Structure 1
Amino acid sequence: MYNVNDVVVHENGGVYRIAAIGKPDFVNGPETYYTLRSVGNDESTIYVKLNNDKVYMRPVMSRKEAKEYLEQLPEMTAEYEANNKERERLSRQILKSCEVSQYLKLMKAILLEQDRKKKNGKKLNCSDEKNLQRAEKMLISEFAIVFNITVEKARDSVFDAVFEKEKDA
Structure 2
Amino acid sequence: MYKTGDVVMYGTSGICRVAAVEKRDLTGEEQEYYILRNIYSDKNIYYVPVNNEAALGRMHPVCTKSEVDELISHMNSEGLIWIDNDNKRKEEYSRIIKDADKHEIIRLIKTLYLRRRELSENGRRLRSSDENYLGIAEDMLFEEFAYALGIDRCEVVDYIEKHLA
Structure 2 regions of 5+ residues with no counterpart?
Answer: none
| Local SS of the residue matching 1:12 | helix
Once the two structures are superposed, the pairs formed by residues 1-169 of structure 1 within 5 Å of their partners are 1-24=1-24, 26=26, 28-55=28-55, 56=57, 57-158=59-160, 160=161
Percentage of matched positions with identical amino acids: 30
Please give the alpha-carbon distance, in whole angstroms, between the structure 1 residues aligned to 2:102 and 2:52: 21
CA distance in 2, matches of 1:22, 1:78: 43
User: Shift in Å at residue 63 of structure 1?
Assistant: 1.3
Shift of 1:41: 2.6
Q: CA-to-partner distance for each residue in 1:83-118, whole Å, 9 max, x for gaps?
A: 111111110111111111011101110111111112
Count of residue pairs brought into register by the alignment: 162
CA RMSD of aligned residues (A): 1.9
Structure 1 consecutive aligned stretches of length 4 or more whose deviation exceeds 4 Å: 24-28
Q: Which runs of 5+ in 1 are unaligned?
A: none
TM-score by length of 1: 0.87
Give the C-alpha shift of residue 13 in structure 1. 4.2
TM-score, normalised by the number of residues in structure 2: 0.89
Kindly state the Cα deviation for residue 81 of structure 1 after the two structures are TM-superposed.
1.3
Residues 13 and 137 in structure 1, CA contact (< 8 A), matched pair in contact too = no
Q: Is the 8 A contact 2:80 2:107 kept in 1?
A: yes
Per the TM alignment, residue 27 of structure 1 is displaced from its structure 2 partner at its CA by: 5.5
Deviation, structure 1 residue 28 = 4.4
SS in 1 for 2:15: strand
How far apart are the structure 2 equivalents of 1:156 and 1:118? 22
Distance 1:107 1:58 in 2: 20
* Letter in structure 1 aligned against 2:15: V
Rounded Cα–Cα distance in structure 1 between residues aligned with 2:60 and 2:73: 22
TM-superposed deviation, 1:149? 0.2
1:92 is aligned with what amino acid? S
